[in-house]
Structure 1
Amino acid sequence: MTFPEMLGHPRPLWLLFMTEFWERFAFYGMRWALALYIVAQFYNGDATGEKPASNIYGAYLALVYAAGVFGGYIADQLIGHQRSILTGAIVMGSGLFVMMLPSMDLFLLGLALVIIGNGLFKPNISTMVGQLYAQGDSRRDAGFTIFYMGINVGAMVSPVVTSWLASVITATPMQQNYKVVFASAGVGMAICWLWFWIGRRQLHGVGQSARTSLSTRNLGLVAAYLVVGVPLMYFLLAKLGATALAWILGILFIGLAAMLLIEGLREGAVARDKVIAMLIIFVFNVLFWMFFEQAGSSFNFLAEKIVHRDFGSWEFPVAWFQSVNSLAIITLAPIIAAIWVWLGRRNAEPSIAFKFSLGLIFNGLAFLLLMVALTHMVDGGSKIPFWTLFMVYVIQSVGELCLSPIGLSMVTKLAPARYVAFAMGGWFLSVANGNNLSGIFAGEVSGESGMTTASALSGYTFGFWALVGSGALLLLVAPLISRLMHGVK
């Protein structure tokens, strides 16, 4: 279908842009507070709570993305993408309000609702962006980059707004007002639902298919998924732990890879090769997110304890560091996109695998800066300069722009035709594996007694070598992966 255009792209792109903005406002508006809240509320602010808080944080993020596998299947086979998004928004918003209650069990139940709701929402809206463009449309990558900016506008604004509200609504210390953070995120999710409900008419069937319906069977299966899924997520968070979860997520990833490969084999040698190339990229994606996703865990504790944040009588809030990444993305995304277009016109645009290797290497350079700061810039108060952590987020953002929006577009190009949303769920499952490992890694950085300059230096040194080494390896095998993609760029 040909859509009316707005600013050179299909008009519904901007509907999806703002829908994603509000969902990301809700998601990031409370994400920055999770580990800090767990330590403050359930460990009375004691540093021994950092490791379990990081593990819960990583496991939560992992399950959010793992749920996308099931959310993608429900959308593809049962109720369609639009209805999945609307259902997910309701479930996720409910969880954010439940998290306001000061009980660990209820807090984890709220997280379980957010996980299930986001799993229904996230992979399906990304898939719909791809459906707005015909195969071979040169605007597709640019469209995903614009969409990715919508993600980051929401992510940039929300920590500033929610942390400010937490500090001013009542006359108590901010850590006692995390319920305000969660409530603000819940309101953002309600706006997201309303915006998409009103605007979805302009999609003209995008996100629906002949395979999906509101039959009694399909609705019953979705209801069963919710009834079983929420308690299961609670159990995984509360009882199982991050290490056991790593094994479960690894097995899920292998199973999904096998299903995609079987479907590729059915469609022929070219489809098989494309699936193999996509799965190789997925593995490197795990490593990227394992170290990138320190923002809400170890980087938060680093900012709180080891980074100078004083500017005269004013102290830079820890939460605001979460906005630096998004600000950098918004600033740099048009530049990076323009570079790819400029190179493309000269038949010199790097391959997908080459871009991914750049993402890993830039992520590693951010850890190199931390290594230098923790080795040579620590002052008498055992703190490092403000600008170092600020620039860590900026450097990581360059790596993210080389990798993440390109990855979303890659899946829509390489996945078997009948399983695009399922493959998008596979992309998010690779992110899930990385996120869970990020919580385990952050816990090791803090150790049993809390983060110190020595523990941070040791952990971040390991991160540097792992990222640069994997980036170099991917660079070596990039030509092989490009051949497997059969001309897909």
Structure 2
Amino acid sequence: MTTLSSTADDVEINKSILEYDELWGHPKPLWMLFMAEFWERFAFYGIRWALTLYIVAQFFNGDASGQNFASNTYGAYLALVYGSAIFGGYVADKIIGAQHSILVGALIMSAGFFLIMLPSQSFFMIGLATIIVGNGLFKPNISNLVGKIYQKNDSRRDRGFSIFYMGINAGAMVSPIATQWLASTLTDTPMMDNYKAVFAAAGIGMLISYVWFYIGRRQLKGIGSIEKTPTRTKNLLYVIAGSMLSIIPVYLLMAYAGAQVLGWLLFALFIGLAIILLKGAQKEGRMALDKIIACLIMCIFNVIFVMFFEQAGSSFTFLAQNIVNRNITEVVEFKLAWFQSVNAVSILVLAPVVTMIWLAMAKCKIEPSIPRKFALGLLGTGLGFLVLVYALENLLDANNMIPLWPLAACYVLHTVGELCLAPIGLSMVSKLVPASMAGFAFGGWFLSTAIGSNFSGILAGSMSGKTGITVDSALTGFTFSFWLLMASGIFLFIIAPFINKLMHGVK
């Protein structure tokens, strides 16, 4: 494929200094990107609660022995979703630009959601592989565009990413409620068939995201676009064809490689990425190199966070199904999908509060540094597991079930941890990495999320074992999770001053 010339790169850099009309105190394109991401997250989170349950119901006839396979498949799916971002970032940076990458990715993802409706395990895996490829083109580039609509030293950047993150979670809040209703109300057929309505809704959500971004991208004033030329058209066709072909190796990784092999591949990719970023930073000088090193260190702690946070779609789902008493009253039941909305609702409620706390602390000159915000995120997530450990040790009823509230409280505490880490991480990458490597660096951030996601599937699978999750296996797994998160958070809090020096004043 022919890559962009240096002239095209210069055009992109010049576009990055454009000023935009404001809406509610932020550049107007932020709100367009907010809604495009809303619908993508509607699709992604709409199937999150259903994937592992569907695998057990459809391919294991509902037998609990399928939980291990389902957890590992879910972890591998998440890992490859985020790992593919590294290639999507490269494609956008060097070949077709962020705007076309987002549009192509949205259409491919939509096709994948419709494919997983087919009642064949092979087609199901091919559908997941298709979603993965499309998400790789979409996800890192829309985040990158958020960073580009702000001037380099714009103090609103962190708040802009927090607002964007609220768009993510608005979609995540609505979709489980809507898709749970579809799964339980649409038909009286077996549940495995009702899940297919969930997948169809996700496919439609991605089509809406495509149309929204296609119409709204004019607001970007050329940011993320490449001048239309025969070369761009040819490269776009190459990317579409390459994306179709890449579904095959992704499918093979999903279906045959296994979590251990995938883990080693992702680790090798991360090492390769780190080397490329470090070599690129060397050309920029010592300060740029230090900032890349700081960014890579923070990515390692992100791996730890994601490993435990992503239990939401695997071990927490099976815990809610089998060990949590979800009866609110004798006739009202708290639905499985609604747990996914607890996280999203908590973010929508707590994100403005956390943002105001950071602002108030900044005015008093006591705002925590980026590393210490990460440390608080790890500690908050660890406390969520502590609540579950307490419940499993002390609150079991006669049926060996725990109450509803400990799992809900765990989700809320994980949300607090997430707000201290995830949006701050996106903003951190945009500030630490040179503009010429921004898309690639965002791919690296999502690659660290991929590694953590793969570990999350392995951990959840070990808790399920051959017979499904039990009180004892959950207690062992969640106790381990608590102690590792607390140790990591405390360690990061201690070494934060060293990382701050590497950041050279970036806050």
TM, length-normalised to structure 1: 0.98
Mapped partners of 2:227, 2:441: distance in 1: 19
Structure 1 residue 110: Cα displacement: 0.5
Mapped partners of 1:277, 1:210: distance in 2: 35
- Seen in structure 2, the aligned counterparts of structure 1 residues 44 and 277 have a Cα distance that, compared at 3 Å, is same
- Seen in structure 2, the aligned counterparts of structure 1 residues 211 and 430 have a Cα distance that, compared at 3 Å, is farther
Aligned partners of 1:48 and 1:449 also within 8 Å: yes
Mapped partners of 1:488, 1:212: distance in 2: 38
> Could you say which residue in structure 2 is the equivalent of 1:88?
105
The equivalent position to 1:417 in structure 2, one of 406, 417, 435, is 435
Mapped partners of 1:279, 1:228: distance in 2: 31
The equivalent position to 1:104 in structure 2, one of 105, 117, 121, is 121
Structure 1 residue 125: Cα displacement: 0.2
The equivalent position to 2:460 in structure 1, one of 442, 445, 454, is 442
Aligned partners of 2:104 and 2:240 also within 8 Å: no
Tell me the secondary structure at the aligned position of residue 398 of structure 2.
Answer: coil
* Superposed CA offset, 1:200-238 (max 9, x none): 111101112579985355235413421331001100000
Aligned partners of 1:357 and 1:472 also within 8 Å: yes
Tell me the secondary structure at the aligned position of residue 340 of structure 1.
Answer: helix
> Could you say which residue in structure 2 is the equivalent of 1:326?
344
> Could you say which residue in structure 1 is the equivalent of 2:251?
234
Aligned partners of 2:173 and 2:341 also within 8 Å: yes
Mapped partners of 1:237, 1:275: distance in 2: 31
**Deviates further, 159-168 or 8-17:** 159-168
How many residue pairs get matched? Answer: 489
> Could you say which residue in structure 2 is the equivalent of 1:249?
266
Aligned partners of 1:87 and 1:117 also within 8 Å: yes
Aligned partners of 1:144 and 1:409 also within 8 Å: yes
Aligned partners of 1:263 and 1:416 also within 8 Å: no
Aligned partners of 1:95 and 1:113 also within 8 Å: yes
Mapped partners of 2:157, 2:233: distance in 1: 37
Mapped partners of 1:104, 1:213: distance in 2: 41
Aligned partners of 2:226 and 2:232 also within 8 Å: no
**Deviates further, 208-217 or 195-204:** 208-217
Mapped partners of 1:2, 1:222: distance in 2: 31
Tell me the secondary structure at the aligned position of residue 397 of structure 2.
Answer: coil
Q: Which amino acid aligns with 1:125?
A: I
Mapped partners of 2:147, 2:232: distance in 1: 27
* Superposed CA offset, 1:440-476 (max 9, x none): 0000111111111000000000000110011111111
Q: Name structure 2 gaps, 5 residues minimum.
A: 1-17
Q: Which amino acid aligns with 1:331?
A: V
> Could you say which residue in structure 1 is the equivalent of 2:171?
154
Tell me the secondary structure at the aligned position of residue 125 of structure 2.
Answer: helix
Aligned partners of 2:107 and 2:210 also within 8 Å: yes
Mapped partners of 1:213, 1:366: distance in 2: 54
- Seen in structure 2, the aligned counterparts of structure 1 residues 461 and 266 have a Cα distance that, compared at 3 Å, is same
Tell me the secondary structure at the aligned position of residue 313 of structure 2.
Answer: coil
- Answer yes or no: is 1:363 the counterpart of 2:363: no
> Could you say which residue in structure 1 is the equivalent of 2:282?
265
Structure 1 residue 346: Cα displacement: 1.7
Q: Which amino acid aligns with 1:195?
A: W
1:325-344 matches, cutoff 5 A? 325-344=343-362
Q: Which amino acid aligns with 1:480?
A: F
The equivalent position to 1:466 in structure 2, one of 474, 484, 491, is 484
Mapped partners of 1:63, 1:211: distance in 2: 31
Mapped partners of 1:186, 1:281: distance in 2: 34
Q: Which amino acid aligns with 1:456?
A: A
Aligned partners of 1:76 and 1:212 also within 8 Å: no
Aligned partners of 1:77 and 1:212 also within 8 Å: no
Mapped partners of 2:240, 2:262: distance in 1: 25
Aligned partners of 1:25 and 1:158 also within 8 Å: yes
Aligned partners of 1:167 and 1:173 also within 8 Å: no
> Could you say which residue in structure 1 is the equivalent of 2:7?
none
Mapped partners of 1:164, 1:239: distance in 2: 34
Structure 1 residue 53: Cα displacement: 0.3
The equivalent position to 2:74 in structure 1, one of 57, 67, 70, is 57
- Seen in structure 2, the aligned counterparts of structure 1 residues 370 and 390 have a Cα distance that, compared at 3 Å, is same
Q: CA RMSD in A?
A: 1.2
Mapped partners of 2:35, 2:231: distance in 1: 26
Mapped partners of 2:201, 2:237: distance in 1: 32
What is the percent sequence identity of the aligned residues? 58
Aligned partners of 1:80 and 1:213 also within 8 Å: no
